[in-house]
Amino acid sequence: MRKRLSLLFTLVLSLVLILAGCGGGGKEAAETGSTDTGSEAATTTPEAGGSGGTLVVGRGGDSAALDPAIVTDGESIKIAQQVFDPLLAYKSGTTEVEGALAESWEISDDALTYTFKLRQGVKFHDGTDFNADAVVFNFNRWSDPNSKFKFEGDSFDYYDSMFGPDGSRVIKSVEAKDESTVVITLNQPQAPFLQNLAMPAFSIASPAAVEKSGADFKSNPVGTGPFVFKEWKRSDSITLDKNPDYWQEGLPKLDKVIVRSIPDNTARFNALQNGEIDLMEDLSPDDLATLESNPDLQKFNRPPFNVGYLGFNVEKKPFDDPKVRIALSHAVDKQGIIDAFFAGQAEPAKNPMPPSLWGYNDSIEDYDYNLDEAKKLLADAGYPNGIDQALTFYAMPVPRPYMPDGRKVAEVIQASFEQIGVKVNIESPEWATYLDDLKNGKKADLFMLGWTGDNGDPDNFLYTLLDKDSIGSNNYSRYVSEPLHELLVKAQQETDQDARAKLYEEAQVIIHDDAPWVPLVHSTPLLAGSAKVQGYVPSPTGSEPYADISIGQ
């Protein structure tokens, strides 16, 4: 066995993209909510030294569920990071792995066995012990399709997309060697394995609470995190109390966190200016000048680590034909969209992963905005007069870090498509329905969505979003390419970063030529807060624990 600073571990850590943050916070937005201030004041008087008090966070919408194992949306993950801890975590403002519930780990020479030494004396919020058996319980729950703790409607999408679907699992077994030691054995090496384990989706839940609550666990989460779940008012707010027995000494600094759903960007910014909230996500670029001129407020920039895209359901005609997909790619004015809606806080995207990530293929030439070329390619595909059937176009009903106003952007795309004879009808169902409809692939012909990277590895963009194994989870285009799959699996098993980078560059060529998406933008998410907010460091992954935040005088 080798210690974690061994050669192989050094190679694994070299995969990490370390992106230092300069403030701000939040991953994505969700469904509708209330703009009432609620029963709590926005900021209570802090104790001496800037600790204590209540932090009120405004976001674009509600969580889908509070069990991190069954969700993929950022708003749900945002709450999970306050209530739960994973075995590993990311250092503040980066995607560099560090210990969390696991204090240390060793990796075998063949990179197939990982031995984790667990932190001792940690309690779940229900008073039960965190130990090796609890870790094994959670992994069994995630991996076993017949688990009695996989409740109706639950889908462990992240587990499948990170560790392979049933029948081709990366993880062979998870065993409790003793009360504080867990051994995870793999079927084959996976270079981003530690990066994946640090994702909030693999946070450790209380087995006793899962057994007691059953399907209601998604509304009554119990973890070991810095805050204890107290109350969820659907589409309004989630209240979290300080965990007085948290294992990290001196944390959390706050007594309470209230996360409010305020769907409209302007209303959310008004709430911040009026002192109703302390921190807000997804600031509209149009409000940036007002923010910067107000000495009582401060700006936070989340590192640009995302992609917003227009996706095609490739199982549906006419999008089963790549010629049609390429034709429509030429009918999207990316720079015009950025100029109109992003106030300079974005750049055009040509690949499914951001250029700040290693393995990015900058040699790829984007499909330029050219309506004449789009018409010609449609004719070549058998549509000389355009597409006569009206297509269903899903536009996001909520603001996202990579898409401040999905409906307006969709209307711009709709207008361009009409000029080449393609009619689309825009629909924007509420957020949970939106995601469900895209997951089952039965309603939308094309759609808008995006992704903020989870763990600093290209695998988290390319395999997670576009591999055939991810259909039913995050591959909403339902795109299948065997050559792509072979490259991505090979890249997972390769430990040399340079070799992996070349494989990902090849993969991006395949994706570009098949065009299951129109990559639209990579944005720099803007966030804002009261000048009293201290210690807030945003993660490039789009969400982070609030344990280090305090409210100053």
- Residue 17 pLDDT: 36
Asked whether 428 and 394 are in contact (CB, 8 A), the reply is yes
Domain 306-523 in this protein, CATH class: alpha beta
Summarize pLDDT for 182-223 with one digit per residue, the tens.
Answer: 999 999 999 999 999 999 999 999 999 999 999 999 999 999
Model pTM?
0.77
- Residue 486 pLDDT: 96
Name the nearest CA neighbour of 504 among 309, 345, 348, 364.
364
- Residue 401 pLDDT: 82
- The reply to whether 2-300+526-551 and 306-523 are identical in fold is no
Asked whether 170 and 190 are in contact (CB, 8 A), the reply is yes
Residue 529 has pLDDT above 60, yes or no: yes
- Residue 431 pLDDT: 86
Summarize pLDDT for 403-458 with one digit per residue, the tens.
Answer: 988 999 999 999 999 999 999 999 999 988 999 999 999 899 999 999 999 888 99
What is the rounded average pLDDT of the residues 505-518? 98
- 300 pLDDT band, cuts 50/70/90, is very high
Which CATH fold topology does 2-300+526-551 show? D-Maltodextrin-Binding Protein; domain 2 (3.40.190)
Cα torsion angle, 105, 107, 108, 112, sign: positive
The three-state (H, E, C) secondary structure of 367-413, written as one string = CCCCHHHHHHHHHHCCCCCCEEEEEEEECCCCCECCECCHHHHHHHH
Q: Which residues are bridge partners to 238 per DSSP?
A: 232, 259
Summarize pLDDT for 121-148 with one digit per residue, the tens.
Answer: 999 999 999 999 999 999 999 998 889 9
| Amino acid residing at 385 | N
What is the rounded average pLDDT of the residues 288-316? 95
Q: What is the mean pLDDT of the chain?
A: 89
Calculate helix-pair angle for 322-329, 497-514, nearest 10 degrees. 90
Domain boundaries, the chain: 2-300+526-551, 306-523
- Residue 52 pLDDT: 87
Summarize pLDDT for 87-127 with one digit per residue, the tens.
Answer: 999 999 999 999 999 999 999 999 999 999 999 999 999 99
Q: Which residues contact 545 (CB under 8 A, 6 or more apart)?
A: 81, 82, 225, 226
